[in-house]
Structures are given as C-alpha cells and as structure tokens.
Amino acid sequence: HLFYQNNDPITAKGLAQQKGDRFLVQNPPALTLTQPQLDKIYALTYERDQHPYYEKQGTVKALETIRFSIPTHRGCYGECNFCAIAVHEGRTVASRSENSILAEVKAISRHPKFKGIINDLGGPTANMYAIECAKKLHNGACVDKRCLFPDICPVLKIDHSSQLDLLTKIRLIPGINKVFVGSGIRYDMVLADKQNGLAYLKEIVAHHTSGQLKVAPEHAAPHVLKMMGKPSVGSLLKFKKMFENLTYAVGKDQYLTYYLIAAYPGSSDREMKQLKDFVTNKLHLTPEQVQVFTPTPSTYASVMYYTEKDPFTSETIFVEKNITQKVAQKEMIAKPTASSAQKTQAVKPSNLPHGYANKPRLQRKSR
C-alpha cells in the first residue's frame, strides 16, 4: 500500500528501504503534464516512420497500427488491480486541447502515406478524454477510495460532450474518410453519463467502430471481479443491449470484443465455469483468445499472486500457479467443444431487436 500510495505526484513523499548498508530510494513521480505542455509535445514534427537505421532489417509491421493513430490523453483512473498504467502513466488523466488534436489530424491528412483512415483516436481508456476530478487536480488522488470502483465517485463528473464534439469535428475534416476508436472504453462511464452517454455511444457505433468495439469485463464471477477492481456484469449487459440496439438501428454488422483473463488470483475452475456460462449464455460467443494472467510489476494483482492473500483484507485466496492448470482454465472458455457449441446454439435472444443476428460466433483475435 505504501508504494502505491506514493505514486501520486502531488502527495508522494518518496520512499527509502534499507538493504544491508545500502538504500533503495523511490523518488516521487514527476508532476502530471499540463495541457499546454502536452500540446507542445504533440506539436513536434514526428516522422511517423521507423528509423532509417532499422530499414535494412525489414519493415516494422506493428508500425501500421500506430502510424496514423492519435493519442488524445495520458493516464487512467480505472486502477484495475492487474494493470500497471496507473503507476507508469499516473491516475490523473491529462488531456490535449481540441485545437492540438485537430491540428494533428489536419497534418496527418497531408501525409503522403495517409489513405484516409485514422486507426485509433484515444488513450489507455478512450472515453476518459477531458474527464477528470477537479479535487484530484488540486489535492492529488484520494488515499481511501478510487474514482470508479466499487462505484463511480459522485465528485467525478462524467461528461462525454467534449469527446462527442471532437469526434464530430474530426470526421468533417477534408481527407478524413474514417476515424476509429480502437482503444477500449469504460462501459460503466457511458452508462453513468445520463446527459451525453447515449449520444456518445451513438456516434461511436455509427461512425467510429471498425467492426469491433473493445471492452474489458475480464471476468464474470463476482468474487474475481472484486479482486480485479472491475464493475459487475450487470453494467456490461446493459451496455451490450445499448450497443446492439444502436448497431441494429444503423444497419451495421459489428460486435463487442471482450477482454478476458484466466487464472487470475482468486479464480479456480469453479469461477472459470461461471465465466464459461456467462460468455455462452449471456454474451453468446466462444472467445478465440483469452489471456492467462501474468504478474506485472507494481500491481496489487502481483501482490495477490505471490502472497496468496488479499492485500485489502489479508484473507487467504486461491492462486493457480501450475502452468498446466493455468492453460486448462483458459481452454475452459477459449476452446470450443461440441457440447458448448450445441448449448450456444440453443440460446434464444432475450434482449436483441427483432431480426438482429444472434448466431453463435467466435470472437476475433484482439490482443
């Protein structure tokens, strides 16, 4: 807890831990960049290409996914217990100005290799752009509570209007055929925005989804979701219904892509069976790709993995560490079987518009 709480640039004091006759020192993080500072960085004339030194080694295929992608902000206050973004980018979202982003879009439109498609407009979580807690900006992140879990803090005013205006303006710029939101979005934030959440999702569905929209429920078992710091499946199902209704209304064939994790601390075969039932009977799919949990530095999930305890309650938890059993957990939901396929086909749509396709399908690879 001491390490994590000393990662806010406003309140951190720095830490020193003695080892023998030496000390390990953790300095406070740098202050979050201001909007003018962030705008100045992105106003630099980047080449949008690999360094000439590496050309003789061949092309970098991954470059094509980011060459014409635009970061709108940095940081994430989701604070999922398995994610290190809160540590290395910060829990404070720093957003670029609208003018800065529009200027970059116009510059991209003149690039000789640009074909009219912006692959991604977003950040660690796409719909956190221009949404931040005024209290946090002055006093630092709260020590005793989080912004989004277990419920969205009422002090954090969720308003997607700035993002909605930005997306509308970008797609009207000459030379821009499509601008996709390839970063994942927080569906609980969309639901919490009673004024502009629906309009934002309409814009995303109608103009900014390249066949699949990424969301990250990660699991379905309540106990595991609590260990992850993720919202309940109830909010996911509400969002799913909204997305499918809007998709049907615009006559498009597009889907939600779900990020899922197997063998997370607290997840046994029993919890994976709960997840299997959920994706089969509620999401109506068999995922092609499920990530096996891997401990990452500076996260609470890594503490859970190595100590086999809940760091918030000190209770002992089950942690699967056998690699064979980890893979087995993954295959419980990622590997289709005859029985699961038959079960999926028997599911009747309960919340889809009349005529909306509800056929069993494999989720395409997304990460």
Domains of the chain: 1-31 (no CATH), 34-210 (3.30.750.210)
Average pLDDT along the chain? 90
Backbone angles phi, psi at 117, to 5 degrees: -120, 120
- Examine the pLDDT at 316 and tell me if it is beyond 70: yes
Residue 343: pLDDT over 80: no
Mean pLDDT of 295-311: 95
Q: Is the pLDDT of residue 301 over 90?
A: yes
Which phi and psi angles does 24 have, rounded to 5°? -95, 120
> Which residues does residue 261 pair with via DSSP β-bridges, in sequence order?
291
Write out pLDDT tens, residues 126-155: 999 999 999 999 999 998 899 999 999 999
The mean per-residue pLDDT over the stretch 39-43 comes to 98
Residue 336 is predicted with a pLDDT of 60
pLDDT of res. 284: 92
Provide the CA 220 distance to its chain's centre, in angstroms.
16
The token pair at 3 is 């390490």
Residue type, 76: C
Q: Report pLDDT for 286.
A: 87
Does the pLDDT value for residue 352 go beyond 60?
no
The answer on pLDDT for 41 being more than 90 is: yes
Q: How far apart are CA 252 and CA 245, in angstroms?
A: 11
What's the pLDDT score for residue 75? 96
The number of helices, as runs of H, and strands, as runs of E, in the chain is 15, 13
pLDDT at 359: 43
Among 88-97, 334-343, 353-362, top mean pLDDT goes to 88-97
- For residues 355 and 196, which has the higher predicted lDDT (pLDDT)? 196
* Residue 52 in this model has a pLDDT that exceeds 50: yes
For residue 275, the model assigns a pLDDT of 97
Above 80 in pLDDT, residue 98? yes
Residue 366: pLDDT band (50, 70, 90) is very low
Best CA proximity match to 146, nearest among 32, 267, 5: 5
pLDDT of 245 strictly over 60: yes
pLDDT for 351 equals 45
Give me the pLDDT at residue 2, please. 85
DSSP assignment string, 355-366: T-----EEEPP-
- Per-residue pLDDT of 194-235, as tens digits, reads 999 999 999 999 999 999 999 999 999 999 999 999 999 999
Residue 231: what pLDDT?
Answer: 96
DSSP string, 231-245: --HHHHHHHHHHHHH
For the segment 321-345, the average pLDDT, to the nearest whole number, is: 73
Give the pLDDT of residue 363.
57
